[in-house]
Amino acid sequence: MSIEQDLKAISDMDEGERSRFLVEQSTDMISRHTPTTEWTFLDVSPAVERMLGYTVEEMIGTAGYDLFHPEDADNLIKRSDSVRYRKGMYTNVYRYKHKNGHYIWLETTSRTLRDAEGKPIEVVCVSRDVTEQTLAQQATRRLARVVESSSDMIMFCNHKTMQLTYMNEATYITLGTEKENPVVFYLEQMFEPKIFASLVQDALSHASTHGTWYGSIKMQLPSGRDRTAEIREVIAHRNLNDDMQVEYYSIIGRDITLRRKAEDEMKRNQLEMAHIARLLSVGEMASGLAHEINQPLAAILNYCRGSMRRIEEGRITSVEEIGRSMELITRQAKRAAEIVKRMRSFVKKTEYQRMEFSLNESCQEIAEFLKQEALDHNTTFEFGLESGSLLIVADKIQIEQVLVNLIRNAIEAYNGCEKSHRPVIISTRKAKDYVYISVADHANGISTEVLEKLFEPFFTSKSTGLGMGLSISRTIIEAHGGQLWAESDGKTGTQFYIKIPAKG
Q: What is the pLDDT of residues 399-414, one digit of tens each?
A: 887 888 899 889 888 8
Write down the pLDDT at residue 474. Answer: 84
- Distance from C-alpha of 476 to C-alpha of 401, rounded to nearest angstrom: 9
Contact 126, 109 (CB under 8 A): yes
Cβ partners under 8 Å of residue 52, min gap 6: 29, 59, 67, 96, 97, 98, 99, 104
pLDDT band at 16 (very low <50, low <70, confident <90, very high): low
CA distances to 163, 190, 319 from 313, rounded to whole Å, are 95, 84, 15
How many CA atoms, within 13 angstroms, populate the side-chain half-sphere of residue 258? Answer: 4
Q: Greater confidence, 278 or 318? A: 318
Q: What is the mean pLDDT of residues 424-452?
A: 89
334 vs 128 pLDDT, higher one: 128
Residue range 480-486: mean pLDDT, rounded: 89
Distance of alpha carbon 373 from alpha carbon 236, whole angstroms: 64
- Reported as a pLDDT band with limits 50, 70 and 90, residue 466 is very low
Q: What is the pTM of this model?
A: 0.42
**CA-to-CA separations, 107 to 64, 87, 95, 193, 501, in angstroms, rounded:** 15, 17, 9, 53, 65
Closest C-alpha to 236, from 212, 252, 253, 214: 212
CA 294 – CA 336 distance, rounded (Å): 8
* Percentage of residues of the chain with pLDDT beyond 90: 25
C-alpha 372/C-alpha 350 separation (Å) is 26
Q: Average per-residue pLDDT in the chain?
A: 81
Report in angstroms the alpha-carbon separations of 333 from 263, 292, 339, 340, 364.
44, 13, 10, 11, 21
pLDDT at 9 over 90: no
| CA nearest to 476, candidates 495, 500, 496 | 500
- Closest by CA position to 53, among listed 124, 91, 126, 103: 103
Distances in Å between the Cα of 383 and the Cα atoms of 72, 358, 408 are: 84, 15, 15
pLDDT at 1 over 50: no
Residue 469 burial class via C-beta count within 10 angstroms: exposed 0-12, middle 13-18, buried 19 and up = buried
Question: Binning pLDDT at 50, 70 and 90, where does residue 376 land?
Answer: confident
Give the pLDDT score at 101.
Answer: 92
- What single-letter amino acid sits at 392? I
348-367 pLDDT, tens digit per residue, is 555 557 788 899 998 988 88
Across residues 417-430, what is the average pLDDT?
Answer: 89
CA torsion sign for 75, 79, 84, 88 is positive
Return the pLDDT at 285.
53
Average pLDDT over residues 105-128: 90
Q: What is the mean pLDDT of residues 293-312?
A: 74
Does the pLDDT of residue 94 top 50, yes or no?
A: yes
Burial 120-133 (b: 16+ CB within 10 A, else e): eebbbbbbbbbbee
Half-sphere exposure of 340 (CA within 13 A, CB side): 11
